[in-house]
Amino acid sequence: MPYYRVAGEVPAKRHVRFRGPDGSLYAEELMGEEGFVSDSSLLYHQHPPTAIVKSEGLASAAEVRLTANHPLLPRHFRTQDLAVGGDMVLGRQALLANDDVRISFAAADAASELYRNSSGDEAVYLRSGAAEFESVYGSIAAGAGDYVIVPRGTIHRWRPGADGVHALIVEARGHIRPPRRYLSQYGQFLEHAPYCERDLRGPAGPLLADGEDVPVIVRTAAGLTRLTYAYHPFDVVGWDGYLYPYAFNIADFEPIVKRMHAPPPVHQTFEGPNFVICSFCPRPLDFDPEAVPIPYNHHNVDSDEMMYYVAGDYSARKGSGVGLGSITLHPSGFTHGPQPGAVEAVIRGLAEGKTTTDETAVMIDTFRPLLLAEPARAAEDPEYAWTWAGAARGQRGSEQADRGPGF
Ligand SMILES: [Fe+2]
């Protein structure tokens, strides 16, 4: 995180004797990235954060079967058709993954167990609904359009509201941060950045939950373990530092608009190891009288591109079957662009005075190919790949797909 926060009580100096009202010492805990040489926070617990009494493996829950995108196809997955229910941790339905990132969908209606992802940071995007995010640092009220960035190792849980939540969950194998080019050498958001510190919502004060023998699901590279802690991890009286979870609402992203069409890096919101997250937000269309105001065909030679359509009316995909809640995957090896007739339709709309777009989408570009998980295969629209070729040729394409590779 680029800036310092403090919540609750902390002593005047680091690593000194800090006592509660009964005279007992609080237990200091450093949460530090990259071996003491990057962002960190110090937390003060009422009880030792080290006291565990039980460890159980959750082998089956950790297994995700992945298959290559072969034969190569652009793909459309309808999260609208995926199962509803469960929680934000064990109810995740993996869609796409590689060695750098795993992307899952959850339509959660139940509170999760306590959870710690020790493999990497998570970015959770809530498309609909509301949820309370509770953690050792305190709670964040999250709602539709929020990204919640959860640093690696943060013990937390999700409590969806009465209507549940639909969420896209990005599990990184490292840290998810604002793009380096948005920050000064000391970490302040620069004037050209499309958002800044004022747009980020940190946790409210300590939760101070009581309890003994409290289970926490821990994700490591080996899978999931349920560790039982002797004391409730939410026993923090105060913390300070630069490392903590935070929320950022997509509506607070200030779009950058050009006279001619701007490429996706202007929409970049976060970066992680070998991937980026971009936010496409409502904005004026490109304003030159001769501009083509939707994307040109493009071949991302080094990346797979996943797009999650979350709100509004997505002009470039009209006629493709893509709707709200859909996810498209445009892989390296395939040139993609607007659906047939989309450019003409937008130009006609401009002439009729429609000079803005209300589309909202979350894009993840990965720099290594994405593999497909079973829930994505189950929710796939098999006709999508042929929609650029038109209806007649599309039918021929479907027959080819049914025959499988080799034809
Ligand atoms: Fe694209």
pLDDT one-digit tens code per residue, 317-367: 777 899 999 999 999 999 999 989 999 999 999 999 999 999 999 999 999
pLDDT, tens digit (0-9, with 9 covering 90-100), for 355-400: 999 999 999 999 999 999 999 999 999 999 999 997 545 544 443 3
CA of 338 to the centre of ligand 1 (A): 9
Alpha-carbon span 150 to 148, nearest angstrom: 6
Q: What is the pLDDT of residue 169?
A: 98
For 287, residues 6+ apart whose C-beta sits below 8 A from its C-beta are 257, 259, 355
Residue 62: predicted pLDDT: 56
Q: What is the pLDDT of residues 56-95, one digit of tens each?
A: 999 765 578 999 999 999 999 999 999 999 999 999 999 9
Q: What's the gap in Å between 263 CA and the centre of ligand 1? A: 9
What's the 329 CA to ligand 1 centre distance in angstroms?
9
9 alpha carbon to ligand 1 midpoint, in Å? 47
- Nearest CA to 387 among 342, 346, 348? 342
At 393 the pLDDT is: 58
Can you tell me the distance from the alpha carbon of 361 to that of 364, in angstroms, rounded to the nearest whole number? 10
- What pLDDT sits at residue 391? 55
More confident of the two residues 141 and 406: 141
Half-sphere exposure of 228 (CA within 13 A, CB side): 8
* Amino acid occupying residue 197: E
Confidence (pLDDT) at 60? 66
Work out the average pLDDT over 232-250.
98
What pLDDT, on a 0 to 100 scale, did the predictor assign at position 64?
A: 85
The pTM of this model reads 0.94
Give me the pLDDT at residue 397, please: 43
Q: How far is the CA of 251 from the centre of ligand 1 (A)?
A: 21
* Residues whose Cβ atom is located within 5 A of ion ligand 1: 305
- Average pLDDT for the chain: 93
pLDDT at residue number 403: 28
CA of 152 to the centre of ligand 1 (A): 29
Q: Does residue 210 surpass a pLDDT of 50? A: yes
Check residue 400 and give its pLDDT.
35
Classify strands 223-231 and 122-135 as parallel, antiparallel or unpaired.
Answer: unpaired
Contact criterion met (CB below 8 Å) for 125 and 97: no
Distance CA 263, CA 261 (A): 7
